[in-house]
């Protein structure tokens, strides 16, 4: 038998510890939660990406009565960024979420489908993207999607 150990590193920051650019990006993700269309779950998610040029693109989750026809904020944002700015790599992705009581006490990670799209975006530009996950108490910084999806299915298997 062989044992494989996988290690990831997550840094936890307070909002005020972020640099100005990261605060601006996080604020854009927080603001994007207001544009969420989530009448069924009442769970609003906002995402923002900072592109290589410094351009910020935002998106929010969009639900539909014909579940699963909706789309998560992360994929909405990445698909829009990739279609509007096809030559620009994503430097950082910020994600914020709130329920009917307000923003969450713990950072919310992206779902599996979003992680797969995030991985494809990294492969497309041949570089990892930083990920910032917001909560009232901490903001997690993750070095790249492979830390969220360590045994990932990528183009190397095709």
Catalytic residues: 74
Contacts 24+ apart (CB under 8 A), 11-18: 11/140, 11/141, 12/138, 12/139, 12/140, 12/141, 13/138, 13/139, 13/140, 13/141, 14/137, 14/138, 14/139, 15/139, 18/132, 18/139
Q: 1: Cβ–Cβ under 8 A, 6 or more apart, which residues?
A: none
Q: Which residue is it, tokens 């530009």? A: 125
């Amino acid at each position: 038998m062989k044992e494989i150990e996988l290690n990831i590193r997550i840094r936890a920051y307070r909002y005020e510890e972020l640099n100005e650019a990261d605060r601006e990006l996080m604020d854009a993700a927080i603001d994007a939660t207001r544009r969420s269309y989530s009448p069924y779950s009442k769970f609003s998610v906002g995402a923002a990406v900072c592109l290589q040029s410094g351009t910020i693109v935002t998106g929010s989750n969009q639900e539909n009565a014909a579940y699963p026809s909706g789309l998560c904020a992360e994929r909405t944002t990445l698909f829009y960024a990739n279609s509007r700015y096809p030559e620009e790599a994503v430097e950082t992705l910020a994600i914020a979420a709130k329920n009917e009581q307000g923003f969450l006490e713990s950072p919310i990670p992206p779902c599996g489908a979003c992680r797969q799209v995030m991985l494809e975006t990294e492969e497309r530009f041949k570089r990892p993207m930083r990920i910032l996950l917001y909560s009232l108490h901490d903001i997690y910084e993750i070095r790249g999607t492979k830390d969220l999806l360590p045994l990932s299915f990528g183009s190397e298997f095709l």
